[in-house]
Copies of this chain bind each other. A is one copy, B any other.
């Protein structure tokens, strides 16, 4: 690997000059620049970014922490974050926090020790207090999917409560009056908010919230299956099921089908997130759209602007969910 020193010798200039042409910093006479560039080409020179980082105290890499790397939800988010950052020449270091406080903190430490210039976090387990403390430190952070007002514009989030509201409203307006709810893990703020929105809709339409028809899952498909079984055991009738996310909806539908129910004729089902596979399901799942792709992009732009000083970036912080009507819901019929 050629170093800057060899380039400078071949070009007959000093280290500093080579550094200047690399970074377009300071004035360099065009002819000198040419000489240097020729030397770089001849040697196949590639700057050592580690050394650059050490000298400039800037690593050009941003750490990203999401709950999981697999699964339909975070993949698209990561994809957009990477694309946006990569286009700006920044590296992405990715870790998974597994919704566990210990692991989330561990990941953050991990990324921080790697001298990331900024962190993009989608975390569940760590407290707001912890995050605020972190935000006061020297390492800039941007949050996705979590709203902490004190953090100013450093949160990219969705109105989950309204999403839950929309989901309930969608089936209520189809005439359903007995709704069950298959919640995500209620210690997670988004799951709790979605449920709250659901309950608000019931209230607005004068429907009673039936506690027995609320079951808590963990956002995974198997818990959707389990939850559906529990709901059926309750013995109370319900003609519509609203789910905390799409994966649980998929599980619930599978169980309903095993029990001989047809969807949507005997049961309308609504998911949440609008992950890609909802279109492949049969019937295609009605769900609440979560624009996690552009939200990922916005988080990336946030660090591009705040940390790397890029200007003229279009950035939005708050997003509204929207209802996507497909085939898993239909009018209530007795």
Q: Say if the beta carbon of A72 comes within 8 Å of chain B.
A: yes
Q: Say if the beta carbon of A4 comes within 8 Å of chain B.
A: no
- List chain B residues, Cβ under 8 A from A282: 253-254, 257, 281-282
- Number of this chain's copies in the complex: 2
Within 8 A of B (CB), among A53-80: 53-54, 59, 61, 68-72, 74-76, 78-79
The CA-CA distance from A221 to B54 in the complex, in Å, is: 45
Is A94's CB under 8 angstroms from B95's CB?
no
The residue from B50, B92, B114, B254 contacting A94, defined by CB atoms under 8 A apart: B92
Chain A contact residue count (CB 8 A cutoff) = 50
- List chain B residues, Cβ under 8 A from A92: 93-95
The CA-CA distance from A110 to B87 in the complex, in Å, is: 11
The residue from B93, B110, B250 contacting A280, defined by CB atoms under 8 A apart: B250
Q: Other than A79-B96, A93-B94, give 12 A-B pairs with Cβ distance below 8 A.
A: A1-B138, A47-B113, A48-B115, A68-B79, A69-B78, A72-B75, A74-B75, A82-B96, A93-B93, A254-B280, A257-B282, A277-B277
Most buried by B among A50, A114, A282: A50
30 contacts between A and B (CB under 8 A): A46-B113, A48-B54, A49-B113, A49-B114, A50-B53, A50-B114, A50-B115, A51-B54, A70-B75, A70-B79, A71-B75, A72-B75, A72-B277, A74-B75, A75-B75, A78-B94, A86-B96, A86-B110, A91-B93, A91-B110, A92-B93, A93-B93, A93-B94, A221-B279, A221-B280, A250-B277, A253-B280, A254-B280, A277-B280, A280-B281
3 smallest CB-CB distances across A and B, nearest first, come from A69-B79, A250-B280, A70-B75
Q: Say if the beta carbon of A83 comes within 8 Å of chain B.
A: yes
Is A70's CB under 8 angstroms from B76's CB?
yes
The residue from B82, B253, B281 contacting A95, defined by CB atoms under 8 A apart: B82
Is B46's CB under 8 angstroms from A50's CB?
no
The CA-CA distance from A86 to B78 in the complex, in Å, is: 18
Q: Say if the beta carbon of A112 comes within 8 Å of chain B.
A: yes
- List chain B residues, Cβ under 8 A from A91: 93, 110, 114
- List chain B residues, Cβ under 8 A from A115: 48-50
Considering the complex, give the chain B residue whose CB is closest to the CB of A92.
Answer: B94
Considering the complex, give the chain B residue whose CB is closest to the CB of A48.
Answer: B115
Within 8 A of B (CB), among A129-177: 138
- List chain B residues, Cβ under 8 A from A100: none
Q: Say if the beta carbon of A109 comes within 8 Å of chain B.
A: yes
- List chain B residues, Cβ under 8 A from A70: 75-76, 78-79, 276
The CA-CA distance from A110 to B82 in the complex, in Å, is: 13
> Beta-carbon contacts of A87-121 to B below 8 Å, as 1s and 0s?
00001111110000000000001101111000000
Separation in Å of the A290 CB from the closest CB of chain B? 14
The CA-CA distance from A91 to B109 in the complex, in Å, is: 12
The CA-CA distance from A71 to B293 in the complex, in Å, is: 12
- List chain B residues, Cβ under 8 A from A114: 49-50, 61, 91
Most buried by B among A78, A91, A250, A281: A91
